Amino acid sequence: LNSMAPTAFVAPQTLSTSTFKDDIFRGKVLFCTGGGSGICRGMTEAIMRHGANATIVGRKLDRLTQAAKELSETTGQKCLSYQADVRQAKTLQEAVAKTIETFGRIDFVICGAAGNFLAPISGLSENAFRTVMEIDTLGTWNTIKATLSHIRAAKGAYINVSAMLHYKGTPYQAHVSAAKAAIDALSAVVAVEEGPHGVRSNVIAPGAIAGTEGMDRLESKDPNGGRDMLYPLGRVGAISDCANAAVFLFSPAASYITGQILPVDGGSEHLRSLV
């Protein structure tokens, strides 16, 4: 049994690397909310490394500007940053307009802006619940609405960033669980309604991913620092794991894949102890 037992938490060592050709996204444009940091920044970098230009949207101007500069330098592609709160449809529409003015098209959208904190239901105010629902769910909705005509025109694709925690009852995550479940549902409807227009929509559901704000927030509250979590693949997830999943889902290799949820969790969801 011991040889079959999953390995305990280890830092990412064997990170996945893209096996796709460098230029598969040449001439394409990505619009990414939450692209200033974490998983969405990593996804943006990977898409740009394969030839796309990008717009990243977020609330924190300094972080966003710095990220855009670094993304351009690292990839040799153009990166526009636009300060916007995804809860405000009007500012998102302005970000989309600026993207079209700059790049002329939008092929890919990542709806990734999210908010999170740990709180029990008894400690969640109506405003706290609403805030996360608005950032995650309404923000995804606003982003889809603001970009849909351009994605139709390009016969492009959406990736909506969800999570793994709402497929079971995760304590202190009522607000996030409700918000992410709604994102899964929304993505499926986009897939079936917009499929006839050549639009695809999928979900990436990250598990525990090292080096992200979400992980920091959750891990810091765990008395064991998260190290009692087990990963069948023997390591915690890396941002590059999610980035490579995004490259695949936007690539022509996934042209018959829509309405799906792709967990990037190293198999953790399937892990159950013997007792």
* Active site residue ranges: 162, 180
Name beta bridge partners: 108.
Answer: 30, 157
**Cβ atoms of residues 23 and 51 within 8 Å:** yes
Determine the Cα–Cα distance for residues 35 and 49; give it in Å rounded to an integer.
15
- For 177, residues 6+ apart whose C-beta sits below 8 A from its C-beta are 165, 166, 169, 170
Size of the site for ligand HXC (CB under 6 A): 20
- For 154, residues 6+ apart whose C-beta sits below 8 A from its C-beta are 105, 106, 107
Segment near ligand HXC (CB under 6 A); pick from 22-30, 126-134, 182-190, 234-242: 126-134
- Is residue 176 part of the contact set for ligand HXC (CB under 6 A)? yes
- Is residue 172 part of the contact set for ligand HXC (CB under 6 A)? no
- For 273, residues 6+ apart whose C-beta sits below 8 A from its C-beta are none
- Is residue 116 part of the contact set for ligand HXC (CB under 6 A)? yes
Nearer to ligand HXC by C-beta: 51 or 267? 267
**Cβ atoms of residues 186 and 137 within 8 Å:** yes
- For 227, residues 6+ apart whose C-beta sits below 8 A from its C-beta are 8, 9
**Of 94, 184, 213, 269, which lies in the binding site for ligand HXC, with binding defined by CB under 6 A?**
213
Segment near ligand HXC (CB under 6 A); pick from 119-127, 139-147, 233-241, 252-260: 119-127
- Is residue 128 part of the contact set for ligand HXC (CB under 6 A)? yes
- Is residue 20 part of the contact set for ligand HXC (CB under 6 A)? no
- Is residue 114 part of the contact set for ligand HXC (CB under 6 A)? yes
- Is residue 178 part of the contact set for ligand HXC (CB under 6 A)? no
Nearer to ligand HXC by C-beta: 40 or 199? 40
Determine the Cα–Cα distance for residues 231 and 148; give it in Å rounded to an integer.
37
Nearer to ligand HXC by C-beta: 51 or 226? 226
- Is residue 210 part of the contact set for ligand HXC (CB under 6 A)? no
- Is residue 58 part of the contact set for ligand HXC (CB under 6 A)? no
Q: Which two tokens stand for residue 214?
A: 């979400």
H or E element in which residue 247 lies: helix 239-250
CB of 18 to ligand HXC, least distance (A): 23
Concatenated DSSP letters of 46-106: HHHHTT-EEEEEES-HHHHHHHHHHHHHHHSS-EEEEE--TT-HHHHHHHHHHHHHHHS--
CB of 209 to ligand HXC, least distance (A): 7
Q: Which two tokens stand for residue 179?
A: 């918000």
Determine the Cα–Cα distance for residues 114 and 173; give it in Å rounded to an integer.
13
Nearer to ligand HXC by C-beta: 9 or 103? 9
**Of 52, 79, 165, 188, which lies in the binding site for ligand HXC, with binding defined by CB under 6 A?**
165
Segment near ligand HXC (CB under 6 A); pick from 94-102, 210-218, 235-243, 265-273: 210-218
Segment near ligand HXC (CB under 6 A); pick from 23-31, 50-58, 117-125, 253-261: 117-125
**Site for ligand HXC, rule CB under 6 A:** 114-117, 119, 123-125, 127-128, 131-132, 135, 163, 165, 176, 213-214, 217-218
